[in-house]
Copies of this chain bind each other. A is one copy, B any other.
Amino acid sequence: MNDTIKLLQNHVSIRNFKDEELTEEQIKTIVKSAQMAATSSFMQAYSIIGVKNKDTKQKLAELAGNQAYVAKNGHFFVFCADFYRHKLGAELEQFNEPLATESTEKFLVGSIDASLAAQNAVIAAESMGLGTVYIGGIRSNIEKVSKLLKLPDHVIPIVGLAVGYSDQESSIKPRLPLENVYHVDQYEQNVELTKKQLQNYNQVISAYYSQRTNGIRNERWTEQMTKMLASEKRLTLKSFLIQKQFLLK
């Protein structure tokens, strides 16, 4: 197992960071690494906002549901899907017809591009001894977050990322059994087998929580998921996307 594989397989999310800012050099290395991720048809349909200003970080932390680590970290990034520069590019080309950036497909392209870049940023940061945590919470108040970061039309926040020096102990969280996630040639059709895998995994996760909390928590994975998915979340996303000229087709 090479060092990069070890790094990938030892990933944990960090939610307590030391009060030490990343250097400009570190930020540049992370962004350059992010930029080298593959991009659909070379569209590079994303932008990254680096949030340095303490007030902005504090506001973001509140908008993300009062998550302290959005404000207290080494640096905070917001990865956005972005077709705005393609619009400006079309102006440079003196092309005055509408540009095909408003479809569901292009929303997906921007989301994938932003995610691939973000994951490269995570790997780069971790390889430098830094910890990271993704913040989906920036979508909880997506309109306010977009205004705060002054995002134009055709640009939407996809996911936040806090990076910094870890100030916590952490242990690797066991994932679903490989055979539950990985299917050969076609999706597993045996429902009973899949349920059996989930039940086995429930025991693994229950033991994991119990061990970490001295027996205070011991919920099953399917229990945790079912409770969480019992209520809707972030239902404003669809209308916001439409307002920002995505998902129109």
Report A's interface with B, CB cutoff 8 A.
1-5, 7-11, 13, 28-29, 31-33, 35-38, 40-44, 46-53, 56, 85-86, 88-93, 95, 97, 99-101, 103-105, 108-109, 111-112, 115-116, 118-120, 122-124, 127-128, 132-134, 136, 139, 148-152, 155, 158-159, 172-173, 175-176, 178, 180-187, 189, 191, 194-195, 198-199, 202, 220-226, 228-235, 237-238, 241, 247, 249
In the complex, are the beta carbons of B50 and A33 less than 8 A apart? no
In the complex, are the beta carbons of B128 and A233 less than 8 A apart? no
Contacts of A100 in B (CB 8 A): 229-233
Q: State how many angstroms separate the Cβ of A56 from the closest Cβ of chain B.
A: 6
**Which single residue of chain B is at the shortest CB-CB distance from A87?**
B229
Contacts of A155 in B (CB 8 A): 187
Q: Given A50-B185, A186-B149, A194-B85, does the pair A175, B36 have CB atoms closer than 8 Å?
A: yes
